[in-house]
Chains A and B, each alone.
Chain A
Amino acid sequence: MAILARANRRHFLRHPLQLLLAIIGVALGVAMVVSIDLAAESTHRAFSLSMEALTGRYTHHITGGPSGLPESLFTRLRVEEGLRETAPAIEGYVTVNDGSTLRLAGFDPFSERNLRSRFVKAARGDDAVRLLTEPDTVMLSAVTGQRLGIRPNDPMAITVNGQPHQLKVVGYVEGDEAPDPALEGLVLADIATAQELLGRIGVLDRIDLILGNSPAQERQIRSLLPPGIELESVAGRNSATQNMTAAFELNLRAMSLLALLVGTFLIYNTMAFSVLQRRELLATLRIIGATRGQLLREILIEAALLGLFGGVLGLAFGVLAAKGLLHMVTRTINDLYFVLTVTEFMPDPLILLRGLALGVAAAVIAALGPALEAAWASPLASKARSGVENRARRGVPWLAVGGILSMLIAISLLQTESAGLVPAIAGVFLLLLGYGLLTPLMLLGFAWSTLVLARLSNTWLLRLAVRGVAASVSRAGLAIAALTIAVAVSVGVGTMIESFRGTIAEWLDQILQADIYIAAPSTAARYSPPLPNGLPEQLGRIDGVDKTGTGRRIIISTSLGESELLALDPPYLNQPGFRFKQADGKVVWSTFPTMKAVFVSEPYAQRHHLKVGDSFELVTDSGPITLPVAGIFFDYRSDQGLIVMHRSLYDRLWKDGANTSVGLYLKAGFDLEKIRQEVGLILSSQQQPLVVRSNREIRAASLDTFERTFAITQVLRLLAVGVAFVGILSALMAFQYERRRELAVLRATGLTPAQAGWLVLLQTGFMGLTAGLLSIPLGLAVAVALVRVINLRSFGWTMDLAVSLPPLFAAITLAVFAALLAGLYPAYQVMRVEPSAALREE
């Protein structure tokens, strides 16, 4: 409908700021959803691609314990058992000079051919001969080579297990083909070279096989394997690895949805405001004969277009943001889960399309209310706004009832222990929504009590301001609700992070009992290189060292899947090394050296539904053994969980003399720095560089990692507040626009421009204060939900809720400040406009 459409569309051209705000609102919402989706998807794709790149077509692995599996097993499978479709693998991590970690994969080009893996392509002609016959030769992913500025035939300096090495790059893995992002971070070496570089002479990490779908064959192969060596399917292993990050990603997505919600609110505001401004225009159109349906359609088309423009802009923002976000997500995954070297960004068209659709849908849904209002409004001016307000005021109690109902549902969702993570997140959303619905009623109550106070102090301007807010509860209520929710989320997330930090700090104090720790530099999560033999004894002889304790961290197979095991040999038993979930921690700890049982960390127990007294099977070098759980301890180092057993039990079950860390307990009165120097002297004679850190340094470094982990959360939190701020700005503009005639009358009656400006600022300040105050209880409720439910269900971590006042004050200040800031422009307008002009308009 050409002219009718023009009549409406040109309205926005006359109010470009509004248009901009609406588009930015959609754009921000879409950008957040899209960027998080893209970042998550990229890490996913990166993961599966790198898995695929490394796994080729094989269906099964044979894996060994901490010491790997003997290479003779491979020869036996091939030469005696005739298992032709097999390939050996060794994997490790090396660091390059820019600090990034690369994956060193040792492969046998001949065997890969049997598996028809993609590395068949990788090694070609003369390059392959060099790889096979020259030591220290590798092939490098082209993407990584280009990033590091390393070309074929260049040398490449790396550090592996702390030792510097000079490698020769014979070529790119891709050969003359296009660089493949899936191979990013890959260093490919002949298996002999890899064994030598990683110090794994005589052993393999894995044997990859292609097996038909034949249980009999699997059984047959299993019967050939020595104890401690396992056959498992690739699919199972990959999905297990990928499942590790599921909760993490779900939390990210929930955050992005919240942003979209706030963005939707922004669109609602804009559309409502634009309908409000066009009230006369729309009435005239109705008088001339435009039907309700026509107006409804016009406004919804408008919203859809807004959604489309904002959506496209949002996609652009989102793609940009995703690149930054990807970095953070990858870092977190590397810190917490597994090494992911692929950083190539892959914009999935499906995600972009989904983001766009989400933006358009959100805009249309948000505009539905204002559009209905516009279409259903009587064209007769006498029945316009006050009627809406009256209706809104009548609706306030009903909204409140709905709010209370939804909060009740939320609480029941959050309290149902058996429910999973998704219902819990839904619960948090319902909590926010319910509270938002309750906000108008609370606003009226707050306004009423403020009026009573204002009457007592006889501040007429304040009274005028508050009455104005209360009078247009439909606009003010919504703006305040939005700000309240945004600030509450910020308070909740902030409190959660605070609580977590406090809990971690306390936990670190408990577990870091030794004074000095020595370990090999670890280049990757869940991989701890072993220490040289005899080192603990040597260090224990230093004068001033009272006792030594050792730790061995390895990945083992259990009936519950691949798990991390820590074998400890603590010198003191008077103070428990962990805080146990049950009360008799001290008693449990005292039996530690002799018990034929394990402790599991809380996340492990949560993940596998273990209780004290439950048993599970561990695959050891002497075969599988079933051990009971003697205790569950609080632990925050990994959300995958940890099994702990005493070193003496470990030694009985595994043929592995290695240690991954040594702790030195000093005698009283000895200087830490001095002993540290002596430790340094001993270590300097070692082939392998080792890291010496005091417990204070470890504590600081751990808290650093913690901060890094939550960096992304903080960013999202700020973004949500930002979107909310834009929302508040447009809501306040609508609010003040509606009151312009009232203000003109006041001006005509003698209000000075300054007083008018103050009035506006008082109103917005009041709204901000209301939102700030209302956000505190909600924020705390959100914090409780996050700490007690979401985190427990996502990661299995129990935390102590720590509420401190400064963040709460900061929240109120933030709300008031945001509102005042948003009020500046309307205030300026009010001061500038001639009262006669505003009056004439009617």
Chain B
Amino acid sequence: MPPSQTIDFKQPNAPVPSATPPLLRLEEVRCGYREAGEWREILRGVDLEVQAGEQLALVGLSGSGKSTLLHLLGGLDVPSAGRISFDGFDLAGLGEPARTLWRRQHVGFIYQFFNLIPTLSVLENVLLPLELNGIDEKAGREAGMGLLDQVELADRAGAYPDKLSGGEQQRVAMVRALIHQPALVLADEPTGNLDFATGEKVLDLLDSLVRAQGRTLIMVTHSPEVARRADRLIRLVDGRLEAV
């Protein structure tokens, strides 16, 4: 693989450091798309600050823009207006390749439908982000097995995803999202596809891993029980944020 492509994202437009700068700051973020010739705006001016290590729950009705917001935070999409700064620099100003490099270093994704790579084994799935960050399979193996052990899946390391249960798959996805020690973990209804008990177990594990490592977690959820676990709850209504 090519040498790890790292970019010092702090340098170009780093502001004067304040006392405790937020990890994420969204200012007047707008996002929408053109459908049948008409502009449909999903996010209509979102302002948000998230401190490092904070755990946020994002709730809202279907179509309120939760997933869109999450994609913006993960650098998968860019806002049509406004500013998203991560650790002081503007994400929206980055091009696609830079955003990809940023994402692979700093973000971990967890999805409702797990999105494991069906053609890779559990361990390979887990090690893929490391590999993309320039750490080869051998070097990452120990860390991967350690984390899998923490989620009680070390014995399934060689299995393919389609042989795992939903809870197991989500635990693998969690490990994959955390393996490269991202500053920001984004979860899109991680328990949405799991029964209550399994979901609780997954969340317990996620909680412990994220808190132990001091990661920032932003989790989209419909479930009040899940939301209650967060440090802070925010709600999207009509494309704007409301604090709860």
Contacts and interface: CB of A to CB of B under 8 A. Distances in A.
Interface stretch (B19-27, B71-79, B212-220): B71-79
Contact of A3 (B77, B96, B109, B128): B128
A288 B128 contact: yes
B119 A3 contact: no
A3 B127 contact: yes
B120 interface: yes
Interface in A375-415: 378-380
Contacts of A2: 1, 131, 136-137
A108 interface: no
Nearest to A9: B119
B205 interface: no
A327 interface: no
A291 interface: yes
A6 B120 contact: yes
Contacts of A378: 76-77
A286 B100 contact: yes
A289 B117 CA distance: 13
Contact of A289 (B115, B132, B136): B132
A287 B76 contact: yes
Most buried by A among B76, B100, B107: B100
Given A4-B131, A289-B132, A10 B119 contact: yes
B76 A4 contact: no
A378 B115 CA distance: 16
A297 to B, nearest CB: 10
A9 B119 CA distance: 8
Interface in B85-119: 96-97, 100-101, 103-105, 107, 109, 115-119
A292 B101 CA distance: 11
Nearest to A282: B117
Most buried by B among A3, A11, A14, A289: A289
Most buried by B among A7, A8, A287, A380: A287
A700 interface: no
Contacts of A1: 1, 131
A11 B119 contact: yes
A149 B101 CA distance: 73
B239 interface: no
Given A3-B128, A292-B97, A14 B137 contact: no
B103 A6 contact: no
Interface string B169-212: 00000001000000000000000000000000000000000000
B119 to A, nearest CB: 4
Interface string B129-164: 101110011000000000000000000000000000
Given A1-B131, A7-B128, A291 B120 contact: no
Contacts of A285: 117, 128
Contact of B120 (A10, A294, A380): A10
Contacts, number: 77
Contact of A287 (B97, B115, B133): B115
A117 to B, nearest CB: 62
B232 to A, nearest CB: 25
B101 A291 contact: yes
A6 B160 CA distance: 13
Contacts of B132: 4, 288-290, 294
A284 B172 CA distance: 14
B168 interface: no
Given A1-B131, A2-B136, A3-B128, A289 B119 contact: no
Contacts of A7: 117, 119-120, 124, 128
Main secondary structure of the interface of A (DSSP, over half): helix
A216 B117 CA distance: 83
Given A3-B128, A288-B109, A291-B101, A281 B76 contact: no
B157 to A, nearest CB: 13
Given A280-B115, A288-B176, A3 B137 contact: yes
B96 A292 contact: yes
Interface residues of B, number: 30
Contacts of A286: 100
Contact of B124 (A6, A8, A287, A291): A6
A379 B107 CA distance: 15
A309 B124 CA distance: 27
A293 interface: yes
A294 B100 CA distance: 11
B115 A284 contact: yes
Given A2-B136, A6-B120, A14-B119, A288 B129 contact: yes
A290 B96 CA distance: 11
A842 to B, nearest CB: 9
B109 A287 contact: yes
B71 to A, nearest CB: 6
Interface in A1-31: 1-4, 6-11, 14
B77 A380 contact: yes
B97 A3 contact: no
Contacts of A294: 132
A530 to B, nearest CB: 77
A10 B115 CA distance: 17
B100 A289 contact: yes
Interface in A244-301: 280-281, 284-294
A698 to B, nearest CB: 67
A6 B137 CA distance: 12
Nearest to A280: B115
Contacts of B109: 287-288
Contacts of B103: 287, 289
Contact of A293 (B77, B97, B117): B97
B104 A288 contact: yes
Given A10-B119, A284-B117, A4 B128 contact: yes
A14 B132 CA distance: 24
Contacts of B77: 378, 380
A174 B1 CA distance: 58
Nearest to B124: A3
Nearest to A291: B100
Contacts of B119: 6-11, 14, 281
Contacts of B129: 288-289
Contacts of A379: 76
Contacts of B131: 1-4
Contacts of B101: 289, 291
B97 A291 contact: yes
Nearest to B77: A380
B144 to A, nearest CB: 11
A280 B114 CA distance: 12
A11 B128 CA distance: 16
B166 to A, nearest CB: 12
Nearest to B119: A10
A380 B67 CA distance: 10
A281 B100 contact: no
A7 B137 CA distance: 14
Contacts of B137: 2-3
A293 B1 CA distance: 13
A293 to B, nearest CB: 7
B71 A281 contact: no
A3 B134 CA distance: 12
Contacts of B96: 292
A388 B100 CA distance: 22
Contacts of A10: 119-120
Closest 9 CB pairs of A and B: A289-B104, A10-B119, A1-B1, A284-B115, A289-B132, A291-B100, A7-B117, A3-B131, A3-B128
28 contacts: A2-B1, A2-B136, A3-B120, A3-B128, A3-B131, A6-B120, A7-B117, A7-B120, A7-B124, A9-B119, A11-B119, A14-B119, A284-B117, A285-B117, A285-B128, A287-B109, A288-B128, A288-B132, A289-B100, A289-B101, A289-B107, A289-B132, A291-B97, A293-B97, A294-B132, A378-B76, A379-B76, A380-B71
Given A289-B104, A291-B100, 13 more contacts: A7-B119, A7-B128, A9-B119, A10-B119, A280-B115, A284-B117, A285-B128, A288-B129, A288-B132, A289-B100, A290-B104, A290-B132, A291-B101
